[in-house]
Amino acid sequence: MPVNSNDAPANPIWPVLGVALAAAVTAALGGLFLPSQQAATLGVLVFCAALWATSYVPEFWPALAMFALVTVTQIAPGSVVLSGFTSSTFWLLFSGMVFGAAIQFTGLNHKAAGLLIQIVGKSYRSVITRTALFGLLLAFLIPSGIGRVVLLIPIVVAITEQLGYQEGSTGRYGILLAAAFGTFLPTFSILPANAPNMLLSGISEALYGETLSYWDYLVLHFPVLGLVKAGLVIAVILWLFPAQDPVHPVKPATAEKVTLSAKEKQLLLILVLCFVAWLTDSLHHISPGWIGLVACAACLWPSGEFTSKQCLSKDLNYGPLFFAAGIIGLGATIAYTGLGESIVKALTQVAPFVVGENTLNLALMTGISILVGMIANLAGIPAIITPLAGDLAEITGLSSYAIVMSEVMAFSTVLLPYQAPPLITAMALGKLPLAVVSKVCLVTFALTIVLLLPLNFGWWHLVGML
């Protein structure tokens, strides 16, 4: 896999044509079992996922190709395939990029980094470990994966600069990956920490009248999928991205270094008000994306001087925005055509469920949910699986609650970044190449399947879930 887009083939036409041929064959074979509209969607899915996985072309290009292909062939209406541009997640990502630009332009990231750098330690290993754990703890305070990434990544960028890690260096990648993955992957074990968790809770309550308990959810998932997975993330990053200890020693904080300018205080006030509004969204019911958009407008006020005058034309990289819109639009197209539900029903018909073998059935259900996440991204797992939980409970012999909780194991197991908007946001803010982030995803995915999921099954037995 190429390290970044610059290492991709000089002329990627042949690899792309190969992927297109494989996608066409998949669609043709799918037409033998699926309605034509769903078979065509399956081909589009294979085309996009393969190009995102291999990095033969920049991440935005498959999204643009998908928009064109779906609209021209009328697989789904434009309002469906282009729905990513009107989604809250898209504008939350855009707002996060503007926040990052404003934090860096005003220098607020360096002030915050000056405080945070005091606790990260003096060795590379301690910086990776403490950064990841700080990101995990942040999930108890900020119930939004993208929100945490928006806050943390610009600060960590400044920390890497102060520690002497140059842009593009292995050490810089490692520290930024620790922040991104530390505040994302293990946090699915905390109920309000990420969008799929809350979607799971909302659908479960609406359909089955089951209000998920914060404490019960934490006890069931946090020991393995939270703490152990955080340790796994740290170990994987240290293994894949070894680096020397910081070149510049950590210096004690001084009063002069933490004194904020008037402009920094004003920006901090905007950000604090934004985060408070995010934290209280259960009271006012305004989507985090629209709250972020209001704060974003304040940051871009022409005479506000929170960003450079060329912020929109030069400072922002729009590639990740099209990437995110493409992922959301593809998920919406999959839902519109019914492909996800058809695949789940087909898998449950061929899966070797055995009545009374709860561990086997749980493993099979988790595997099916993971496949759904690869097809329809992480938020698609609760959207597709939870409404089917009653039927799946009858097929497997598991309780509907166990079926619902098994989804957490699935959407906390990420194969590639395209499944997760917070990782896309981290890539945009930290200038992380897709291939670098994908490498961590692939290794943690494999280790989670082999080590963590069996360990979690054992934990469920211990607490009486199985």
142 and 41: one domain?
Answer: no
387 DSSP assignment: G
C-alpha count within 13 angstroms, C-beta hemisphere, residue 367 = 16
Residue 120 has pLDDT above 50, yes or no: yes
Name which of 212, 210, 218 is nearest 189 in CA terms: 218
What's the pLDDT at 6? 44
Query: pLDDT category, 51, cuts 50, 70, 90?
Result: confident
* 395 part of a folded domain: no
260 and 132: one domain?
Answer: yes
Residue finishing a domain among 267, 284, 315: 315
What's the pLDDT at 40? 94
190 and 309: one domain?
Answer: yes
Give the whole-number percent of the chain exceeding pLDDT 70: 94
* 363 part of a folded domain: no
Query: pLDDT category, 103, cuts 50, 70, 90?
Result: confident
**What distance in Å separates the CA atoms of residue 98 and residue 275, rounded to the nearest whole number?**
15
Which segment of 120-129, 204-213, 328-337, 347-356 scores lowest on mean pLDDT?
204-213
**What distance in Å separates the CA atoms of residue 224 and residue 454, rounded to the nearest whole number?**
10
Burial 202-234 (b: 16+ CB within 10 A, else e): ebbeeeeeeebeeeebeebbbbbbbebbbebbb
Query: pLDDT category, 186, cuts 50, 70, 90?
Result: very high
Query: pLDDT category, 125, cuts 50, 70, 90?
Result: very high
What's the pLDDT at 10? 61
Residue finishing a domain among 75, 107, 124: 75
What's the pLDDT at 66? 93
**What distance in Å separates the CA atoms of residue 308 and residue 73, rounded to the nearest whole number?**
42
22 and 153: one domain?
Answer: no
* 368 part of a folded domain: no
What's the pLDDT at 128? 95
Q: Bigger pLDDT: 6 or 13?
A: 13
* 125 part of a folded domain: yes
Widest distance between CA atoms in the chain: 71
Residue 143 tokens, joined: 């119930």
* 427 part of a folded domain: no
Over range 77-87, report the average pLDDT. Answer: 87
Residue 7 has pLDDT above 60, yes or no: no
CA dihedral sign, ordered 330, 336, 338, 340: positive
Name which of 69, 26, 71, 70 is nearest 50 in CA terms: 26
What's the pLDDT at 256? 46
Residue finishing a domain among 315, 335, 366: 315
* 337 part of a folded domain: no
* pLDDT tens per residue, range 247-273: 766 665 544 456 778 888 898 899 889
What's the pLDDT at 56? 82
Which segment of 61-75, 191-205, 390-404 scores lowest on mean pLDDT?
191-205
- Average pLDDT over the chain reads 85
* pLDDT tens per residue, range 272-322: 898 788 767 668 878 777 888 899 899 999 888 888 888 888 888 788 788
What's the pLDDT at 240? 96
- For residue 178, CA distances in Å to 125, 130, 188, 194, 215 come to 11, 9, 16, 18, 26
Over range 107-114, report the average pLDDT. Answer: 76
What's the pLDDT at 1? 37
Q: Return the HEC string of 332-376.
A: HHHHHHCHHHHHHHHHHHHCCCCCCCHHHHHHHHHHHHHHHHHHH
- For residue 151, CA distances in Å to 156, 238, 268, 403 come to 9, 23, 11, 34
Q: Bigger pLDDT: 198 or 16?
A: 16
Which segment of 13-27, 57-71, 92-106, 429-443 scores lowest on mean pLDDT?
92-106
278 and 194: one domain?
Answer: yes
Q: Bigger pLDDT: 159 or 121?
A: 159
Q: Bigger pLDDT: 316 or 74?
A: 74
117 and 52: one domain?
Answer: no
Query: pLDDT category, 246, cuts 50, 70, 90?
Result: confident
**Alpha carbon 39 to its chain's center:** 27
What's the pLDDT at 255? 42
Over range 378-400, report the average pLDDT. Answer: 82
- Non-local (6+) Cβ contacts of 49 within 8 A are 374, 416, 418
Residue 127 has pLDDT above 70, yes or no: yes
**Alpha carbon 426 to its chain's center:** 9
Residue 413 has pLDDT above 80, yes or no: yes
Query: pLDDT category, 379, cuts 50, 70, 90?
Result: confident
Q: What is the residue range of 119's domain? A: 86-315
* 71 part of a folded domain: yes
**Alpha carbon 191 to its chain's center:** 16
Asked whether the beta carbons of 140 and 134 are under 8 A apart, the reply is: no
Question: With the CA atoms of 424, 248, 252 and 120 taken in that order, what torsion angle do they form, in degrees rounded to the nearest 10?
Answer: 40
9 and 33: one domain?
Answer: yes
438 three-state secondary structure = helix
3-state percent breakdown (helix, strand, coil) of the chain, nearest 5? 75, 0, 25
- Non-local (6+) Cβ contacts of 391 within 8 A are none
Which segment of 76-90, 244-258, 339-353, 434-448 scores lowest on mean pLDDT?
244-258
- Check residue 287 and give left, alpha or beta (phi > 0: left; psi -120 to 50: alpha): beta
184 and 127: one domain?
Answer: yes
Name which of 334, 289, 326 is nearest 145 in CA terms: 289
20 and 60: one domain?
Answer: yes
Number of domains comprising the chain:
2
66 and 8: one domain?
Answer: yes
92 and 170: one domain?
Answer: yes
* pLDDT tens per residue, range 154-174: 889 988 988 889 888 999 999
Residue 2 has pLDDT above 60, yes or no: no
152 and 38: one domain?
Answer: no
Name which of 339, 380, 376, 193 is nearest 278 in CA terms: 193
Query: pLDDT category, 220, cuts 50, 70, 90?
Result: very high
* 323 part of a folded domain: no
Burial 30-44 (b: 16+ CB within 10 A, else e): beeebeebbbbbbbb
Over range 341-355, report the average pLDDT. Answer: 82
Q: Is the pTM of this model over 0.85?
A: no
